[in-house]
Each structure stands twice: as structure tokens, then as C-alpha cells.
Structure 1
Amino acid sequence: MTPSKPVPEGQYATLRNGYRIHYLDESLGGDGRRPVVVFLHGSGNGACGYSNFKGNIPALVQAGYRVIVPDLIGYGYSDKPDDVEYHLDFFVECVKQALDAIGVEKYTLVGNSLGGAIALGFALAHPRNVERLVLMAPGGLNDLPDYLAMPGMKQMFELYGAGKPVSEAQMKAFFQSAFVVNPDCVTDELVHERAELMKRQNPQVIKTMKVPNLTARLGEIRVPALALWGLNENMMPDSGILRLAKGLPDCRMVLVPRCGHWVMIEHRELFNRTVLDFLANG
């Protein structure tokens, strides 16, 4: 990595709508014969696929999966149009067009936070393409006032809402307070990656982001699902736990103690073992 490339650069897919999405595509070879897992990252300043999932990609690749990790439109190295509104259906359609361009038809979607909401919306819009879902404290289960009442969300708006420059030290303190229980999980490397990518981001993606409450439609999703939820979550309301567990007809729910919003980072080994078991047996 060079100073101009804070995280590894992979490949690009040009979408039918004209935008370009960056993605990582990792496997042991023979892609056409390997089951596909697609990781969908969360939102926030400086978010991208690699920073969210770099601790999880190798375990799935070594187990024989083809792992595709896009940067959502508006994030990372993907295009960041400032003349569109970033609604859930726009994210879903861009991910679908990217996977079509890559040439995969069946896949498991793994998503946290916004990425989890996209995975749910994708399964509703394109059920024939989705084999399984893995969800980590997904959005799309509550109305906006419920999210704004969460302590982590309040911290985020206090930090970024003033329009003042945010230092890496401030970003690290925010991540440690809002996203995890164990502060050691928030490394200087992770913070630097996010800080550098934040410089490339325009405010449109967060300013116009809208995610509807999908709770009433969860019963339409028939594929097996695994949900992981940290019991010290500061970003997503706990009411989402039962809405997800009872709403999805075939959902395995795992509640993780001493865990915040980033279960795949804070409890990486547990997450990897649990997901691999689900992919094989769920």
C-alpha cells in the first residue's frame, strides 16, 4: 500500500447505470466451481469493505469459498456521485449490477449495519440470487427516531455533524466508545485507513441515506439466515434482535456477550467459526 492507496486496490466493475464499483475478489482458484460469499460493509465516515472484513476474508478463502468484497457506491474506491440520493434501493441495485457484471448468479450475502439492511433488501428484491444471509446488527429494523436515540449514533452526529476537521485521535476514541467493548480492537492501522478514505468521501452519501423499516416484510425471506448481535450494542436498538429472530422464518440467532457493533472485528475467531459452520450446515 502506498500513501495514496490506504487499503489494497482490487478490481472494478462498470455498472449498467454508468457508475463504477471497486471490489476485492479472493479465492484459491477455480472460481466457477466455488460457492460465493459477498461481504457488504456498514456506513460511516471512511467505511470500506477491506477495513470491515480483512480479518474474515482469509478464513473463508482457506475454507474453499470465493469471497467478493465490494466498496458500496459512495464509499472506498467506488464512485461517489453527488447528484443522487442514497436510498436503500439504490444501494441494492448497484450491488446487483456489480455482481451481474462480475458474473456470479448465486451467493451468500454477509452484511453488517447498513450492509445488513442492503442484504435484507437484496433478498427481498432478488430472491432467486440469494442462497443464505449472514447479518450482524443490520439496519432496516427500526424507524429513524429509534436509531437517533442510541448513544453511539448521538456520538457520531456530535463528532461529524459540526463540520469541523476530525483528527485520527478523535476518530479512534469514537470507534472505541461507540463500536466495541475491547478498545484494543481499534488499531491505529484501522483508524488511519478510515481517516484517509474519509478524505475521498463526499457528504452526500450520509446526508441523503434512507433505509426503510423492513420488519413487516421479513417473513417473505425464505432462505436460511444467521444473525449475530453484540449484547453491548450502542448503534442499533436491541428491539431489532426479536424482530429479526421472529421475523425471519429460518433464522439462527447468536447473541455475543462483551461485544459491540463490530462483532466480525471484536470477536473475529468466533465470527469466522460460526459463519463457516453455518455455510456448511445451516
Structure 2
Amino acid sequence: MWPKHLLPFFLILFTFQVALAQPKPLDPELTYYEYPFPVHFHHLTVQKQPMKMAFMDVKPQQANGQTVLLLHGKNFNGAYWAQTAKDLSKNGYRVIIPDQIGFGKSSKPQNIQYSFQLLAQNTKSLLDSLGIKKVSVLGHSMGGMLATRFALMYPETAHKLILENPIGLEDWKRWVPYQSIDQWYASELKQNYEGIKKYQLDNYYGGKWDPAYDEWVNVLAGWTMHPDYPKIAWNAALTYDMVYTQPVLYEFNQLKMPTLLIIGQRDKTALGKANASPEARAKLGNYPALGKETAKKIPNSKLVELANVGHLPHIEAYSKFITPLLQFLKTK
């Protein structure tokens, strides 16, 4: 038992810690949400509209002449690459971390036709503006679909490809009923802290929660608390439609560059799985099988399977993630 005279102190400390852990309202462009490195903006004209693409440019003290491009997942932004970028920088790599249009600190347009080709073009424009001609591309989750499309469109730029628990290893259209953008939008408007955390707990982390995961719930939940949240929900609905209707898996065999697959084996992520039949639902998101199938489709690929790790190896099991990544990057 604590001494009675210390109880008020511990009560204040506990209240402060709880307050820190709770989400706070965040505006669509995360104006007051601090990223781990200085944020810059690349200005674009997209479908007759001026837009800005946020990015971080992490330069090493002792450069090895190579650059790594980090592409975030759908429910995330570039900030979750903080530790990865720090270690890559320590190993001599320049690291470019964009927020795609519609995500993070980048523009959230009301009228736009999203495609992975568009996001890849925007990313190539950013690299061109920085004078970067070759990169190793690392994509996580939806970022894996984008990284694949980028590598297919710009094979002269994508020197190596790393896919960390990418989604889109199966074509959900074959088993999951189509949802209109309006249906996705209505669903997004219902999002809240409890629902977001439950989804991540069940699908990403296998039912085991660590306080380190709070940050990536709080950002999404903070958006839902802001009066401009409908703008976020609308972009989320548009990009859900993009992910559902634009598979890349049928072109895996066209990838020519060395490719590393890092696959957490406990992952169960599959878009719209809850709307599939019980029989299909039981088979969707089977990452142990999907990783092996994908490795067979991609020429010159290597598969690293991480046992008892879910959808976010670089958050949940960092040491298991960074070791094979650095080894792959250093291989000629």
C-alpha cells in the first residue's frame, strides 16, 4: 500500500497519464500533430486542383549514396516510420517518407479520382523535385500495393522492392460483395475510438495490446472528434474503393527488381471480410498461405516469415523486422 500522504501525488500522476493516452481532436491536415522529423510540402496540380503532399526527408550524417522510400498503409501516416527511418539513417541511407494525398498532413480533396497510378505519379514527381533517381521502395499494407504499382511503372527508379505485410495479395472482388463509395462513407462516419481500437486489436495484434499501439489509434480517433471529420471520411471512402477495385497481384510476375517479402504470420487483414460469406470469410486474410503464394509469383524474391507477428512488424516486433530489411538493402 502507498503511504497516505503520497496518494494525492499518485492520483494526479495517474490522471495525467490517462489524459495523455486519450485522443484529442485533430484537424484534417494534422496541423498540431508533431511528426518525428521536419515536414516539407511538395506542391502539385492534380485534376485541375492545387494540392500539397507532405513529406519528411531524413538525411544521414555519413551517406552511403542510397535512398529508401517508405510508403505508409491506409490507416496510417508517415510518422509511424520513425524508428525505421532513424536506423536506416544511421546506416547511411537517405530516407524519404511521404504522406500520400488524402492521408496524414497532405491535402484532403473533396473531388478526386484516386488510383494507385496517380499516387505513384505524385510520388515520382516528389522524387524528381528532390533530384533522386534511384530508390529502394518499402511499402506496408496499402503502401505495399502502391509500392508494387510504383515499381511496375518506374522500374528504372525502383532499385529494390520491400513489401511488409502488403494488402492486396488476394482479389477481394471474387468473394466480397461490392460496396459503393456512399456505403463506405456512411460506415466511416460511424467510426470512433472504441471501434478503431477493436479493429486493430483483432486484426493487427492478435488480441494483445501494448500501450505503444495507442498512438496509431489516437490519430484516427482524433480525426473523428473534429468538426471537419466528414472530409476525412470521404477521402477514406474514396481510397477504400481504390484498394478494392485496383488489384496489383495479377502483375507480380512482371516485377524485375530484387524483392523482399516480410510477412507477419498472425495477420488476418482482408478488405470487407465481414461482408463475405462465412465460408469465404474463413479463408480470406490467410497471410501464411498468401506470403508463400506471392513469393512464387514474384521473380527474384525472398520471403521472410515472422512467427507470431501480426500486420505491423515494424511496430509490433521491430527487431525481427529491421534485421532482414538491413541485410536485404546491403545485398548487391
Q: Confirm or deny a common fold (TM above 0.5).
A: yes
Q: 1:175 aligns with which of 192, 200, 203?
A: 200
Q: Alpha carbons of 1:203 and 1:147: their partners in 2 closer, same or farther (altered >3 Å)?
A: farther
> Number of residue pairs matched?
269
Q: 1:7 aligns with which of 30, 34, 40?
A: 34
Cα distance in 2 between the residues matched to 1:274 and 1:41: 19
Structure 1 match to 2:74: 43
Cα distance in 2 between the residues matched to 1:97 and 1:16: 11
Post-superposition CA distance 1:89-111 (Å, at most 9, x none): 12211111122122211001100
- Offset of residue 186 of structure 1: 4.5
Q: Alpha carbons of 1:145 and 1:7: their partners in 2 closer, same or farther (altered >3 Å)?
A: farther
Cα distance in 2 between the residues matched to 1:146 and 1:56: 35
Structure 1 match to 2:53: 21
- Offset of residue 116 of structure 1: 0.3
Please give the residue correspondences for 1:77-88 in structure 2 after superposition, counting only pairs within 5 Å. 77-88=105-116
2:171–2:247 contact (8 Å) kept in structure 1: yes
TM-score, scaled to structure 2: 0.73
- Offset of residue 229 of structure 1: 1.0
Q: Alpha carbons of 1:242 and 1:62: their partners in 2 closer, same or farther (altered >3 Å)?
A: same
Q: 1:218 aligns with which of 216, 232, 252?
A: 252
- SS of 2:314's partner is helix
Structure 2 match to 1:166: 192
Please give the residue correspondences for 1:115-130 in structure 2 after superposition, counting only pairs within 5 Å. 115-130=143-158
Specify every segment of 5 or more residues in structure 1 that has no aligned partner in the other structure, as ranges: 150-156
Range that drifts further, 127-136 or 239-248: 239-248
1:183 counterpart letter in structure 2 = W
Tell me how large the CA RMSD over aligned residues is: 2.7
Q: 1:105 aligns with which of 123, 133, 137?
A: 133
Percent identity for Structure 1 against Structure 2: 24
TM-score, scaled to structure 1: 0.85
Post-superposition CA distance 1:54-81 (Å, at most 9, x none): 2311111111100111111100111111
Q: Which has the higher contact order (CA 8 A, sep 6+)?
A: 1
Cα distance in 1 between the residues matched to 2:167 and 2:297: 14
Q: 2:234 aligns with which of 199, 204, 208?
A: 204
Matched, 1:235 2:278: no
